[in-house]
């Protein structure tokens, strides 16, 4: 075959039990779907371009015809092994939200499987046995959970598993949603009210609240992405009033007192905006984790230098999950004697696959 397999399944063309072997099994040992213990001489090894069989009738009897298929681990397939603890809810790791799970104990215990289309808590045996509970009890973005059935979780028992998923066809998206997850029509963040002052003053706001949560939804297979925020109109944007007659800046760090006096940028306005994601709150969708997701560092916009501020960086994060971010601190320095008015600044949240 054109690749080194991580799972090989073989079945003789007669009444002989099917066998399989995964790359998580070491030495000359293979498993059976039936209630048979692992044994040697079946599929002895997985090689760079195929597999080697022994003399077991399940894989190599003279003049017998065998059918086989194989998978290589990747973004949609994975294999592994675990040791049971006899406690319900044991989490077995897998790199994605699976659509099919196989589990087989190393001893003479029947194997089980759970397709994602089977809901309600039961799983299936490979053999002609009715579905049963407490075997494979749940699927999540980090793998699956098992109950206390001996097919999947006996204390000290060694189990082999293989998982598949239907390749994701969704998208990477960012939106602002309300408390029940519906998109917010005109999301906004309101800064603390301020009176015209003769001195420079700081106002604060929070981006991401319980009624306006930033939701990143990654329904792709890509585990790496970045969420950042920048002004919609680019680095030369200004806070503007409705009549576009009064302004102040958001990224002027070159004034005598940054944010309080106009600096060397091309406009005539002072002001600076600080975004503080470091202490924000990240909530993951049920069944997902925040593993691999890092909050950005607190930064000031600085024209030409910091025009976009990363809020979240995901590396090897869950896929087919969403996360809600709230509590991103915002601090705006308003220059002295700023005319009283209602000002707005347009921002754009962008999530980019890496």
Partner 1 sequence: MAINTNQQILKNNREQPRTNRARSDKLRHAKHFVVTFAFFCTVISLFICVPIASASTKVRFKQIIAPLNCLFDEVNDGSGAVVYLTPETCGTMIQPQRTNQSTTSTTAATSTRTQPVPSEYYSGSQYLDSEGGSASSQNGYMLIVHAGLVYNFRLPGDSPVGAPRTLEITSIHNGVVTITFGPGDKQTKLVEEQLVRANIAYDAEADVEVTAVQINSDDSAVLHVNFPVQSRLAGKVTGTNNTTTTLVIFWLLTGAVLYVHAHSRYRSRHTRFVDRNWKVEETIK
**Site residues for partner 1 per CB under 8 A:** 171-176, 186-191, 193-199, 203, 205, 207, 220, 222, 232, 239, 256-257, 261, 273, 330, 332, 334, 336-354
- Alpha-carbon distance of 172 to 323, in angstroms, equals 12
| Cα of 221 vs its chain's centroid, Å | 9
State in angstroms the smallest separation of the CB of 43 from partner 1: 39
Q: Which is nearer to partner 1, 118 or 221 (CB)?
A: 221
State in angstroms the smallest separation of the CB of 144 from partner 1: 28
Q: Which is nearer to partner 1, 137 or 217 (CB)?
A: 217
Q: Does residue 116 contact residue 193 with C-beta atoms inside 8 Å?
A: no
| Residue found by looking up tokens 């939106």 in the block | 175
Q: Which is nearer to partner 1, 202 or 267 (CB)?
A: 202
- Alpha-carbon distance of 310 to 250, in angstroms, equals 17
Q: Which is nearer to partner 1, 258 or 287 (CB)?
A: 258
State in angstroms the smallest separation of the CB of 286 from partner 1: 23
- Alpha-carbon distance of 72 to 138, in angstroms, equals 24
Please choose, from the candidates 8, 21, 24, 19, the residue with its C-alpha nearest in 3D space to the C-alpha of residue 70. 8
Q: Which is nearer to partner 1, 79 or 325 (CB)?
A: 325
State in angstroms the smallest separation of the CB of 184 from partner 1: 9
Which residues, including other chains, have CB under 8 Å from residue 63's CB and lie 6 or more apart?
Answer: none
State in angstroms the smallest separation of the CB of 276 from partner 1: 14
Q: 3-class DSSP state for residue 166? A: coil
CB atoms within 10 A of CB 286: 8
CB atoms within 10 A of CB 346: 10
Find the length of the chain.
354
Angle at 327 between CA 323 and CA 329, to 5 degrees: 130
Q: Which is nearer to partner 1, 108 or 194 (CB)?
A: 194
State in angstroms the smallest separation of the CB of 203 from partner 1: 6
Q: Which is nearer to partner 1, 75 or 122 (CB)?
A: 75
- Alpha-carbon distance of 348 to 227, in angstroms, equals 10
- Alpha-carbon distance of 104 to 102, in angstroms, equals 7
State in angstroms the smallest separation of the CB of 267 from partner 1: 17
Q: Which is nearer to partner 1, 39 or 246 (CB)?
A: 246
State in angstroms the smallest separation of the CB of 290 from partner 1: 20
Q: Does residue 140 contact residue 114 with C-beta atoms inside 8 Å?
A: no
Please choose, from the candidates 62, 65, 47, the residue with its C-alpha nearest in 3D space to the C-alpha of residue 10. 65
């Amino acid at each position: 075959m054109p690749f080194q397999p991580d799972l090989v399944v073989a079945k003789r063309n007669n009444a002989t039990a099917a066998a399989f072997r995964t790359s998580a099994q070491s030495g000359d040992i293979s498993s059976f779907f039936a209630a048979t213990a692992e044994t040697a001489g079946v599929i002895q090894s997985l090689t760079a371009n195929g597999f080697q069989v022994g003399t077991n009738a399940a894989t190599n009897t003279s003049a017998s015809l065998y059918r086989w298929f194989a998978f290589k681990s990747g973004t949609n397939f994975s294999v592994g092994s675990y040791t049971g603890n006899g406690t319900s809810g044991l989490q077995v790791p897998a790199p994605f939200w699976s659509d099919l799970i196989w589990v087989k104990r190393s001893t003479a215990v029947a194997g089980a499987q759970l397709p994602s289309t089977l809901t309600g808590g039961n799983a299936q045996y490979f053999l002609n046995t009715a579905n049963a509970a407490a075997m494979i009890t749940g699927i999540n973005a980090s793998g699956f959970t098992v109950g206390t059935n001996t097919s999947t979780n006996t204390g000290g028992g060694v189990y082999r598993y293989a998982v598949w998923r239907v390749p994701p066809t969704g998208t990477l998206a960012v939106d602002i949603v309300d408390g029940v997850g519906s998109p917010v029509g005109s999301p906004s963040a309101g800064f603390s009210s301020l009176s015209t002052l003769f001195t420079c003053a700081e106002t604060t706001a929070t981006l991401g609240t319980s009624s306006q949560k930033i939701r990143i939804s990654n329904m792709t297979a890509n585990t790496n992405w970045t969420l950042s925020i920048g002004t919609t109109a680019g680095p030369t944007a200004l806070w503007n009033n409705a009549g576009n007659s009064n302004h102040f800046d958001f990224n002027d760090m070159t004034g005598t007192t940054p944010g309080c006096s106009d600096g060397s940028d091309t406009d005539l306005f002072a002001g600076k905006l600080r975004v503080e994601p470091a202490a924000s709150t990240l909530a993951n969708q049920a069944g997902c984790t925040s593993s691999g997701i890092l909050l950005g560092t607190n930064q000031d916009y600085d024209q030409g230098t910091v025009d976009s501020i990363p809020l979240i960086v995901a590396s090897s994060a869950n896929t087919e999950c969403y996360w809600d971010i709230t509590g991103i601190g915002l601090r705006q320095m308003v220059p002295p004697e700023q005319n009283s008015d209602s000002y707005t600044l347009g921002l754009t949240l962008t999530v980019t696959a890496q």
